[in-house]
Structure 1
């Protein structure tokens, strides 16, 4: 059945809005959890473990998530993952009134771990699902990058909401909102969206539906994109995990200070996402230059954090870190999706998550240990210096490398 372009636009808008509102609730909950852990323990390593619980599961489950998406279909996996996210969110909310001290900390970490596992499946399936909502293959790239903008708007709204809710009503309210907002994408996918399922290509051969086969089929350009993204994320993508500690050291210890820090970070992420969204085709055609420039912005901002404690400069550097990291992660996801065949896009999304979320989880643990040993400013200096070397090297060696393997959606 032929459907009008306006119908397709409405479908895409519904999915974007539902995902954005859910993201805002998620970041409200994560901010509340981070503040609880920070105020109760004052431990940098515990904060790093909290972020690692959210991101490191990608190292183990993004591969199976991509394989499952390519074998049984992205819509089924998407719905299953969203129900799992709802359950994990409710577990964290219930731990506040029912538990205390170490038991509460353990359950909060378990809740975040389960959310990390479910998120790996949800993000992998969502990437492939987006291709079923577009009427023209040329609209896939800007639509994928639109998710970065909406995601980061959720990051902007969620943290101050979480901080205010913690201050006014307690953390249980923030965590409850986190859980309940997952109902929005569940309802939209089950009842409101009508994707073009005939576009989806499934891998019927179990032996062919593996990460190894996707890695071999995607080509040398995309393999390098994944390698560089993983490396640069290990070096410098620790800000989400240590956000409460960074905010407390640079702005102040209150929930509102944490909300301000994460909001400025999100404002930078929105900027990076908008720049990428408006130049999606041009940026995806030069992977080395795009990734290298976004990594360079992040590295310079980290060096700025290491050299200044004046709050206006700190906030400017935080904004640049948000723009650089969001641009890096979103462009890696964009390039690996539009540059691969439809049949392997689920597994390519899984490989991308392994690169940037798995790398980020390791980065948080490394940065936490460096902070304990040398201090926060020294950690920024080390990460920024190494990131500067890698990003300049990427631009120098591969800035002109073309993306000549782009496949039609």
Structure 2
């Protein structure tokens, strides 16, 4: 049935058509092979893949697959419910203990995805005032005030402007006062903290920024948290397993003790080649999240096979440091050479190496031209990055070989000359 142009569905259809017309709609290829390898099969031929997050090449590791297969045989495909009901399975708890040990925290809580970890954790922490009031009423016989029952009035969140979308959405769900500070601008953060009259302060930052590939100033963030009595949470999804002399992440990279960061979030999707997310910290904080994080309470956990495979992947990453070393060496080489071609890499320091294009239409054209040359490298544009800051976001893994990177560089040189930018 034809709908009038003013109908919401008709307006949505018109907007989608306009996006596709101008090549801004993601034209992601249908891949006929594993998307965790540097060479994938698309449209009947091999393509080089430079956007996989399988950083350490563990997704298809024989030992990881064997651990997952054994767990699949024992536990079946799904978990059968939430952790709060029937699905508190031993492999889930083993994975939590292993990742907590790996990052150097007392305990950890696992979620089905990293996104669920952030959107569940941030608003959950805001419930402490409300639950304190309820506890007083039920355990102490004191009727809570209206302000206490409101729950969130005493909190102010200080959020880095380039935080991942999952943190942004978690902050929105928290319904607290929010102050955003500029990218890596600890001077501005200091002023905001000093001016705040909030009873409880909460600083949140990525460890490695997913679109720029640079690293947060965690020592300064920890100093400010301690000075102002604030809770500090670092989203280290792109850092854990990759950075630091022991691969423990952005804290390890900076030499910051885990005791100075209250909560470390991470994922199993990047360095460990699986899926899922976790939050680690002091045991009491983690136990609090188990009874307050809605995305944990009201959702099924990771499939047991994934949990078992990820635990094995952590063990391999722990003993085979060459994997992260090669990934970072590849990134260093590519960053140096692509800068020599005249590309801006936006301050990248890690395995994520963006090349700034700027205009959204031009970035789409670059992706298309690279695809014609057998390279899969989608562009990142608004809302993933600010308008006018579109870029091709390259990810270097330990499986990329030097000749593959050199071919990419030659293609980027051709594209730059062809498009005259």
**Pair in the same fold by TM > 0.5:** no
Greater C-alpha radius of gyration: 2
The TM-score, its normalising length taken from structure 1, stands at 0.24
Q: Relative CO higher for 1 or 2, CA cutoff 8 Å, sep ≥ 6?
A: 1
Identify the structure with the greater strand proportion.
2
